[in-house]
Amino acid sequence: MLDCIVIGAGPAGSASSTVLAQARRSVLCLEAEEFPRFHIGESMLPAAVRIWKRLGLWEKLQPLGFPYKGGADFVTADNKDIAHFWFGDWLEEDLKDAIQVDRAKFDKAAVDHARSCGADVRYGCRVTDVKLMNPGVEVTWRDPAGASHTGCAHALLDCSGIKSFMGKRLGLRRTIDSLTKFAVFAHYDDVKLPEGIREGIITVVCAADAWYWVIPLEIHGRHNRTSVGCVIDRKVRDHWRGEPADLLDHLIEASVHLRERMTRAKRVSPVRVEADYSNRCDPSHGESWSLVGDAAAFLDPIFSTGFCLSQRHAIISAEAIDGAIRKRGCVRAADFAGPSREFFQSVDTYTRFVRGFYERPAWLDCFMSPPVNQFNVRRAVVRVLAGDVHRVSFWLAVFFLFVRLQRWFPLVPRVSRPRVTDGLVSGGEGGRGVSGKAKAGFADAGTR
């Protein structure tokens, strides 16, 4: 009987496997795909660096040459308003640095590290069934040759990402309806980047009906490889007649900011899509098993939070398993209550930010405004952007008070909110109605 079986070797799976192996627990991590493989989720937060130091992974990332990210710019799609957030101006030493990562490279390095700590990570092994033994679990998987295997463990961590193997199986997953979004994205060479130390920052480009990301993944002198994507409402996808690549081109063209930065850019990857990803599972754990990271909940990626929250959740869940086995030789539902509470508290804090962005124009006014963002309010907001949500403060409450006041008594100038999807939705002048071919095109374009 193993101590733990982990489903999936993404950031949550590799982090939990590393922690368990470092505690000398027997851990088998089953990953359906062969690494390296593409995965979206490329902008990291400073809080993730703390996690990599805890895992002993940070040193191993240095030779991979990931770009330095010292902050984030939020700019409106028409280039009229911009807010710079530089972590080092506001936060303590260990929260001022982050990186951007090519996930194919990062995820493989994290698995190699887990293996070097003693975890048994197997690629090409898809979990097909789980039996709950109360306590303990029995897991069945298919290996790359198609043969079926079964193994038993004291605990199961389901780190299967948005697919949420156990969440779907047990019917625990709820889509967050008001956040049914659609992302379309690709990698480009030679996007125009900011200069100097700021060249590696993420730019979030805001519109009334969309937002974009620009994330440098590799920088070689004057050349770079950069991830560019756009998140829009799902109904726009449902009404778009063309291929995903045409949609992405159209959206880039619709933003002055993107247009200016991409005059010399060349697309170097397929255009991929991801839809309806905001969801949460309730409950997220039970006797001897827990959903971890995206498998438990996933929120809109505007604040680049998914990776960091997933790894933190993975670490504390793995520590809970180690503690429980040491104490009583088995793992109970109650052992996952603390990790789950901490994870969902963080998700809830970010949910306030995400809902603010989508649902309240006053939120963006305050977020981007220097007068509202004086001193401690600014520090509290930057702390959230850095991924340090455990010390959510009085000053964050003051920020939300400003947002509430701004709705009724404009305290700061309104930020421009240009629209970029007008004309895409059918029914309007020049609208592009849906076709069977278009739907097939979208169905073909998966991210993983």
Ligand X SMILES: Cc1cc2nc3c(=O)[nH]c(=O)nc-3n(C[C@H](O)[C@H](O)[C@H](O)COP(=O)(O)OP(=O)(O)OC[C@H]3O[C@@H](n4cnc5c(N)ncnc54)[C@H](O)[C@@H]3O)c2cc1C
Residues that bind ligand X (CB under 6 A): 7-13, 30-33, 39-43, 126-127, 159-161, 163, 165, 183, 274, 277, 293-295, 301, 304-308, 310
Q: Which of residues 41 and 356 has its CB atom nearest to ligand X in the complex?
A: 41
How near is the Cβ of 166 to ligand X at its closest, in Å? 10
Q: Which residues contact 436 (CB under 8 A, 6 or more apart)?
A: none
Q: Which of residues 304 and 373 has its CB atom nearest to ligand X in the complex?
A: 304
Spatial distance between the Cα atoms of 223 and 207, rounded to a whole number of angstroms: 28
Q: How far is CA 24 from the centre of its chain?
A: 29
How near is the Cβ of 291 to ligand X at its closest, in Å? 9
Residue 278 in tokens: 């905001």
Q: Which of residues 205 and 372 has its CB atom nearest to ligand X in the complex?
A: 205
How near is the Cβ of 174 to ligand X at its closest, in Å? 17
Instruction: Name the amino acid, one letter, at 376.
Output: N
Q: Which residues contact 341 (CB under 8 A, 6 or more apart)?
A: none
Q: Are 109 and 11 in contact (CB under 8 A)?
A: no
DSSP result, 96-111: S-EEB--HHHHHHHHH
Strand partners, 280: 174, 297
Q: Which of residues 32 and 377 has its CB atom nearest to ligand X in the complex?
A: 32
Q: Which residue has the tokens 């990790």?
A: 339
Q: Which of residues 372 and 387 has its CB atom nearest to ligand X in the complex?
A: 387
| Among the listed residues 221, 215, 225, 230, the one whose alpha carbon sits nearest the alpha carbon of residue 268 | 225
DSSP result, 188-231: EE------GGGGG-EEEEE-SSEEEEEEEEEEETTEEEEEEEEE
**How many residues can be counted in the chain?**
448
Tell me the torsion sign for CA atoms 98, 99, 100, 104: negative
Q: Which of residues 17 and 373 has its CB atom nearest to ligand X in the complex?
A: 17
- C-alpha distances in Å from residue 310, one per residue of 258, 297, 333: 30, 9, 19
How near is the Cβ of 179 to ligand X at its closest, in Å? 12
How near is the Cβ of 397 to ligand X at its closest, in Å? 25
How near is the Cβ of 348 to ligand X at its closest, in Å? 16
How near is the Cβ of 123 to ligand X at its closest, in Å? 9
Q: Which of residues 182 and 367 has its CB atom nearest to ligand X in the complex?
A: 182
Q: Which of residues 127 and 362 has its CB atom nearest to ligand X in the complex?
A: 127
How near is the Cβ of 82 to ligand X at its closest, in Å? 20
Spatial distance between the Cα atoms of 111 and 31, rounded to a whole number of angstroms: 10
Crossing angle between the packed helical segments 337-359 and 306-328, to the nearest 10 degrees: 170
